[in-house]
Amino acid sequence: MSLSMTGFGQSTLKFEGYTVTFEVKSVNHRYCEVLFRIPREWACFEDSLRRTVQSRTSRGRIEVYINKESDGESVSAVLNHAMVKAYLKAADELERYGIEGKPTIRDILSLPDVLVSRRQQLDEEKRLQWGEMLCSGLDKALDGLMQMRSTEGSHLAKDMEQRIERLQLLQAEMVNLAPTVTAEYRTRLRQRLEVLNDGSLTFDEHIFGMEIALFAERSNIDEELTRLHSHFEQCRQLLLHQNGPVGRKLDFLIQEMNREVNTIGSKANHLTLVNRVVEMKAELEKIREQAANVE
């Protein structure tokens, strides 16, 4: 089953008098990049949260937003004495630069992390419980994200499958056309020689046959058509039956198909074949754009 790299999920949990909201969104990326926007005091949980995300996704740029709001209960504020001492020490060190004056109470209280809630201090004792809660809430948000990625992935797979069917029809036309290219060239060349020959030259059937044989060798596209058929089948198998990430494999197969089509275009000395090559390249470009969204 193919998964898209684009999706969104969210969840909400209540814990220890707080309402914690989780939002996860993902977009295309060559690798798996996880970014967090979370309160500073939860930075210690970032590694476990990252592992939670990576256990569910393999590619994409995933942005995780976690916020908390108090339920309105009375929360008493207390001084963070360690931070106050650190700020005062830094203020004293500024005097060596000729900066005079002492910070006021208002100045100190306005600094980050000087005041903490008594509840927050208690949370430090329940660090393990908070970490489990955050991973659980994030996992629920990831459920929504993965559902959206699965739904969009199914649409992408269906579109690419239809385009591969179109490519298979074009390849079948080329298979039928290929044997006629040499015969048509032989006829055209013989007619051209008859027009140009004013009777002063002797027609040499042996040399003529050698020229046709060289042309047939240069314009032979049987191997390229066979490899294209194999690549089409591999793409269909990846889209319909492969579990797990398939985006990079698809990208490789599309590059190989482009290579075969370009080779056919360079060998083809036939207008209809060249037109089919142009149509194939257009379809492959559309498949490439879609495959760039697949995990």
Give a yes or no: residue 87 inside a domain. Answer: yes
| Strands of the 18-27 sheet, one edge to the other | 7-15, 18-27, 60-70, 32-37
Has residue 2 been placed in a domain? no
Choosing from 115, 133, 166, the residue where a domain stops is: 115
The model carries a pTM of 0.69
**Structural domain contains residue 242:** yes
Is residue 179 a part of any domain in this protein? Answer: yes
Alpha-carbon Rg for the chain, nearest whole angstrom, is: 34
Query: Residue 138: its pLDDT value, please?
Result: 95
pLDDT at position 255: 93
- Could you tell me if 87 and 176 lie in one domain? no
Q: 24 and 130: one domain? A: yes
3-state DSSP call for residue 285?
helix
Q: What are phi and psi of 87, to 5 degrees?
A: -65, -40
What pLDDT is recorded for position 131? 87
Same domain, 286 and 160: yes
Q: Are residues 230 and 187 in the same domain?
A: yes
278, 245: one domain:
yes
Residue of 137, 138, 145 lying closest to 26 (CA atoms): 145
Kindly state whether residue 68 falls inside one of the protein's structural domains. yes
Query: Domain range holding 203?
Result: 152-291
pLDDT at 125: 62
Tell which wins on pLDDT, 183 or 4.
4
| pLDDT (tens digit per residue) in 151-178 | 998 899 899 999 999 999 999 998 888 8
For residues 39 and 132, state if they share a domain. Answer: yes
**Of 94, 127, 151, which residue is a domain's last?**
151
- On whether both 177 and 231 belong to a single domain, the answer is yes
| Same-domain status, 52 and 139 | yes
Residue 129 sits in a domain whose CATH number is: 3.30.230
- pLDDT number for residue 117: 62
Residues 146 and 32 occupy one common structural domain: yes
Considering the domain architecture, whether residues 182 and 278 belong to the same structural domain is answered as: yes
The dihedral built from the CA positions of residue 99, 102, 105 and 111, taken in this order, carries a sign that is positive
| pLDDT value of residue 208 | 67
Report the C-alpha gap between 195 and 66 in whole angstroms: 82
Position with higher pLDDT, 72 vs 106: 106
* Model pLDDT for residues 211-250, shown as the tens digit of each residue: 777 776 677 888 889 999 999 999 988 887 777 788 889 9
Q: Does residue 41 belong to any structural domain of this protein? A: yes
Q: Which residue has the tokens 């004293």?
A: 92
- Tell me the pLDDT tens digit for each residue of 3-37: 899 999 999 999 877 899 999 999 998 889 999 99
> Does residue 79 carry a pLDDT above 80?
no
Tally of domains within the chain: 3
Q: Cα-Cα-Cα-Cα dihedral of 160, 161, 165, 168, to 10°?
A: 80
Say yes or no to pLDDT of 51 above 90: yes
Q: Are residues 88 and 211 in the same domain?
A: no
Bridge pairing between strands 32-37 and 60-70: parallel
pLDDT in tens, 117-151: 655 554 556 778 888 999 999 999 999 999 999 99
Res 84: pLDDT: 82
Determine the pLDDT at residue 197. 67
* CA nearest to 293, candidates 144, 159, 165, 166: 159
**Mean per-residue pLDDT over the chain, rounded:** 84
pLDDT at 129: 85
Q: Are residues 176 and 85 in the same domain?
A: no
- State the Cα angle at 40 between 144 and 149, rounded to 5°: 15
Rounded to an integer, what distance in angstroms lies between the CA atom of residue 222 and that of residue 211? Answer: 20
* pLDDT confidence of residue 122: 47
Instruction: Decide if 1 is inside a domain.
Output: no
Q: What is the mean pLDDT of residues 281-295?
A: 91
Q: Does any domain span residue 126? A: yes
